[in-house]
Structure 1
Amino acid sequence: MSDLRQIRVFSGTGITRGVRISYRPSRQRHSQSPSTGGWPRMDLEMDFDEHVLACVLSRALEEIEAGEATATEATGLSRVELLDILTRSFPTSLIHGFSLEEVTDPEIGTEEELLRGLLLTHARPGDPASARFAKIIARRALRNDHLWQDLGLFDRSELSRLLATHFPNLAAGNTGNMKWKKYLYSKLCEAEGFSLCAAPSCRECHEFKGCFGSEEGESRLAPIKSGTDLD
């Protein structure tokens, strides 16, 4: 059985390479909070952060095993940053699966650098987790799916929660419910002084459906979550 088939991701817990990836929820997690827009509120914010990291790392392992990327290329994080995340939040036996001793830090292209800059500008001041997620999101946004799928999340609401938590002012500006990847790129264009579309209003733009349509789809970890073989 391949290592990838051993991944099992559930709500809050995953098993990768025969060991558990868990964000270790430690208290009641299902009370509702108006401030989170109906999302289940977790007592410890770190619980949700580690859930997101588990999803991202599972996607990274998928790409590593497919020979598509190294751990740093899949996440946008440096070798040191990845090692710190793994040793702080995940079992030590998981580290070898990412072959960190064999990788170099990722090369950052212009597009990714601009996305990083946008996110870092709006990140929570002095919060290392927000800076880390800025790098991860900027790298995963270069993939071809909806951004929540690129990150390995279960649905769009998880991405909305992540952005509202770590980039609150940036997330709050998406009042029209634009697709998150489109929204980030529109903010880049705005910063550069031009528009993605020359139409006088969004609804008149030929890209309207692409920008504001449904972000439905299957999580890239859905077969893993359900325990389905990946043949």
Structure 2
Amino acid sequence: MIRGTQICYQPSERRHSQSSSTSGWPRRDFEWDFDEHVLACVLWRALEEVEAGEATATEATGLSRAELLDILSCIFPTSFIHGFCMEEWNDAEQGMEEQLLRRLLLKDARPADPKSARFAKIIARRALRDGHLWQELGLVDRSELSRLLATHFPRLAAGNTNNMKWKKYLYHKLCEAEGFSLCVAPSCQECNEFKSCFGSEE
């Protein structure tokens, strides 16, 4: 609850399909429901920044005005949209770092999936914040970020075999892609900053 605005949503009817079981109960599409949960978490964090005067909704999410309006109007109640100060929206500018992160994510996003493309933009923007990435996305814990990345960027996520912190991992992969390294240690185990990359994110 933020200044009287509560984030709640009901998964759309179109995201449910009739089960083939004899029970007759509808079968939920858990992937859609999880995606909507993530979007609700991201928008909650965005709304915090909007109300604190730290960013507009487009600046907080990395999405364009059109993309944000589409998400809000399709998933969330109209009363919730007004909290985002729509009159202040402009398409957010991207710095070079954000562009490189987007490119990295989009390279391994699920083909022709607009949801994956939007999550690439959101993750790239929120990765620029100071906190752990799952926290800056407003998620409940790190496991939710792991699930999000495994769902929409499966090949990229599968490469994190040593359970590196996700933001560190993304920048590590970015450095690899650009042909340079920010780390001079011969191996992770011999690095003085080992806990910075692999320690707890709680």
Query: Shared topology, TM-score over 0.5?
Result: yes
Report matched runs for 1:4-15 at 5 Å. 4-6=2-4, 15=6
- One-letter code aligned to 1:106: A
Percent identity for Structure 1 against Structure 2: 75
- One-letter code aligned to 2:188: C
- Conservation of the 8 A alpha-carbon contact between 2:12 and 2:75: no
How far did 1:5 drift? Answer: 4.2
Matched with 1:201 is 187
Structure 1 distance, partners of 2:10, 2:157, is 24
Structure 2 distance, partners of 1:148, 1:74, is 15
- Conservation of the 8 A alpha-carbon contact between 1:23 and 1:51: no
Structure 2 distance, partners of 1:154, 1:180, is 15
Structure 2 distance, partners of 1:191, 1:114, is 10
Instruction: Select 2:148's aligned residue among 158, 162, 168.
Output: 162
Structure 1 distance, partners of 2:10, 2:103, is 28
Instruction: Select 1:140's aligned residue among 112, 123, 126.
Output: 126
TM-score for both structures, normalised by structure 1: 0.78
Measured on the aligned residues, the alpha-carbon RMSD in Å equals 1.6
Correspondence 1:179 to 2:179: no
Matched with 2:21 is none
- Conservation of the 8 A alpha-carbon contact between 1:79 and 1:105: yes
Distance 1:141 1:23, change over 3 A: farther
TM-score for both structures, normalised by structure 2: 0.89
The alignment of Structure 1 onto Structure 2 pairs a total of residues equal to 189
Matched with 2:44 is 58
How far did 1:206 drift? Answer: 1.9
- Conservation of the 8 A alpha-carbon contact between 2:58 and 2:90: yes
Structure 1 distance, partners of 2:30, 2:185, is 45
Q: Structure 2: which 5+ residue stretches go unaligned?
A: 17-27
- One-letter code aligned to 1:147: L
Q: Structure 1: which 5+ residue stretches go unaligned?
A: 8-14, 28-41, 217-231
- Conservation of the 8 A alpha-carbon contact between 1:163 and 1:171: yes
Structure having the higher helix fraction is 2
Q: Which sits farther off after the overlay, 195-204 or 163-172?
A: 195-204
Matched with 2:85 is 99
Matched with 1:22 is 9
Correspondence 1:84 to 2:82: no
